[in-house]
Amino acid sequence: MKTPNFSILNFKESIFATMTKMAQKNAAINLSQGFPDFDGPPWLMDLVTEAMKSGHNQYAPTHGIVELRKTLAQTYKKIYGLEFDPMDEITITNGATEAIFCTIMALVNPADEVIVLEPFYDSYVATLNLARAKIIPVTLYRKEFRWRIEELTQAFSDKTKLIILNNPHNPTGKVFTREELETIIHLAEQYDAYILSDEVYEFLTFDGVAHLPIATLMKAIERTVTISSAGKTFGVTGWKIGWILACGAISHHIRMIHQFNTFSVCTPMQWGVNQALQRLDEYLPTFRRLYQEKRDFFCQGLIEASYLPIIPKGTYFTVAPIGQLTQLHDVGHCMELIERKKVAAIPPSVFYLKSQEGQEYIRFCFAKKAETLEKALQNLKSRL
């Protein structure tokens, strides 16, 4: 048989799928993959059930139901002061991952240079490889996960088409400062590069730290694609309702890819999310408090288990150095944890292309029920 697309020949199974399968095989508590082991709010399920009963079960418009796009426009204007035309500049996608895929495929040509901040979410690099881009990694160095300005500056050139930003940042829990965001904008403007800003954890920040969308600063909105989703905010990652916010011309290019990719997104779920977004004022304080309590409880437990977690300012992940516990690198330590202590974590080295820093720590997800976190901590503290 003839060979498939050569771009996928070096693809491997996602680390999330690998660790989840190993967790299942070893009956381990799965703190690797980033999703809650509990449902979102019951009233949200009721909204979708009502939408299905009301006949919202056929194809939605390819760009998303108008009602949801209008609600998103109102939401982003109210919270951030951002203005997007719901008809031409907001597109509903099959989760943020499809939004990332469509954006890269719409904007990046073969051999274009794309800057990726490592550690990165793995779908960025996979999609860039499909687009045959030249990937330029810039490392965020522990423990504050900041770049070295000379490294970032040297990464840009006249060939730079795009820089990918994830804020709040997975896997580190970092929330970028205004100064850091403005640095990206200055360089993107200097070299006429697009900015893809993945902001799926925008409402999950702690300790009074506020999320600042890069599109709100200076004139960045003209070159920025902002991506977010309902999955993380409402605890319904399986619904796969994401969205893209981008100015007219950029939005048009992305829509050309989206229409031949998934075409449209689950209709009743869009109706449910539309109404859920209108309840953010009453919902978000409880949501943030719940996850801050989980973060504080889990990180304190890690300290008692002789880990030294880097306390995240956003997301529902925490990373912890392992050098004081083992001579193994991250992959070996994660395998050992699964087999000996029945806890699954993620080895971050797979999220790097250049630096070896990922070998020095592991990532845990604390978006779990209290009893799940308690049992995992008991196992980590054990001497087995």
Average pLDDT over residues 344-365: 97
Question: Is 80 exceeded by the pLDDT of residue 383?
Answer: no
Residue 226 domain-assigned (yes or no): yes
Question: Is 70 exceeded by the pLDDT of residue 298?
Answer: yes
Backbone φ, ψ for residue 85 (5° rounding): -75, 115
Where does the pLDDT of residue 9 fall: very low under 50, low under 70, confident under 90, or very high at 90 and above? Answer: confident
Same domain, 87 and 225: yes
Q: What is the model's pLDDT at position 268?
A: 98
Percentage with pLDDT > 90 across the chain? 92
Same domain, 62 and 121: yes
Same domain, 220 and 299: no
Choose the final residue of a domain: 251, 279, 307.
279
Q: What is the model's pLDDT at position 58?
A: 98
Choose the final residue of a domain: 262, 279, 296.
279
Where does the pLDDT of residue 353 fall: very low under 50, low under 70, confident under 90, or very high at 90 and above? Answer: very high
Where does the pLDDT of residue 2 fall: very low under 50, low under 70, confident under 90, or very high at 90 and above? Answer: confident
Average pLDDT over residues 241-261: 97
Rounded-to-integer distance, Cα 238 and Cα 271, Å: 15
Same domain, 140 and 242: yes
Q: What is the model's pLDDT at position 384?
A: 58
Omega before 53 within 30 of 0, i.e. cis: no
Same domain, 216 and 153: yes
**Number of domains, the chain:** 2
Question: Is 80 exceeded by the pLDDT of residue 24?
Answer: yes
Choose the final residue of a domain: 279, 314, 340.
279
Same domain, 274 and 298: no
Which alpha helices (DSSP H) does 141-177 contain, by range?
149-155
Same domain, 302 and 369: yes
Model pLDDT for residues 75-115, shown as the tens digit of each residue: 999 999 999 999 999 999 999 999 999 999 999 999 999 99
Residue 288 domain-assigned (yes or no): yes
Average pLDDT over residues 265-289: 98
Average pLDDT over residues 379-383: 89
Same domain, 174 and 184: yes
Residue 82 domain-assigned (yes or no): yes
Same domain, 30 and 137: no
Question: Is 70 exceeded by the pLDDT of residue 293?
Answer: yes
Residue with tokens 């799926």: 200
Question: Is 80 exceeded by the pLDDT of residue 287?
Answer: yes
Omega before 312 within 30 of 0, i.e. cis: no
Same domain, 233 and 367: no
DSSP string, 206-230: -TTPPP--GGGSTTGGGTEEEEEES
**What letter does residue 205 receive in the DSSP assignment?**
B
Residue 1 domain-assigned (yes or no): no
Residue 242 domain-assigned (yes or no): yes
Model pLDDT for residues 114-153, shown as the tens digit of each residue: 999 999 999 999 999 999 999 999 999 998 999 999 999 9
Question: Is 90 exceeded by the pLDDT of residue 7?
Answer: no
Q: What Å distances lie between residue 257 and 106, 123, 251, 302, CA to CA?
A: 6, 17, 10, 44
Same domain, 75 and 187: yes
Q: Domain with 11 in it: what CATH number?
A: 3.90.1150.10
Where does the pLDDT of residue 281 fall: very low under 50, low under 70, confident under 90, or very high at 90 and above? Answer: very high
Q: What is the model's pLDDT at position 10?
A: 79
Give the structural domain span for 32.
6-41+281-381
Same domain, 136 and 180: yes
Rounded-to-integer distance, Cα 365 and Cα 349, Å: 16
Q: Domain with 169 in it: what CATH number?
A: 3.40.640.10
Residue 119 domain-assigned (yes or no): yes
Residue with the larger pLDDT of the pair 166 and 19: 166
The beta-strand segments (E) located in the chain are 29-30, 90-94, 113-118, 134-139, 160-166, 194-198, 224-229, 241-245, 317-321, 343-344, 361-365
Residue 91 domain-assigned (yes or no): yes
35, 125, 9, 71: which is closest to 270 by C-alpha? 71
Q: What's the angle, vertex CA 213, arms to CA 299 and CA 276, rounded to 5?
A: 75
Residue 213 domain-assigned (yes or no): yes
Average pLDDT over residues 34-40: 93
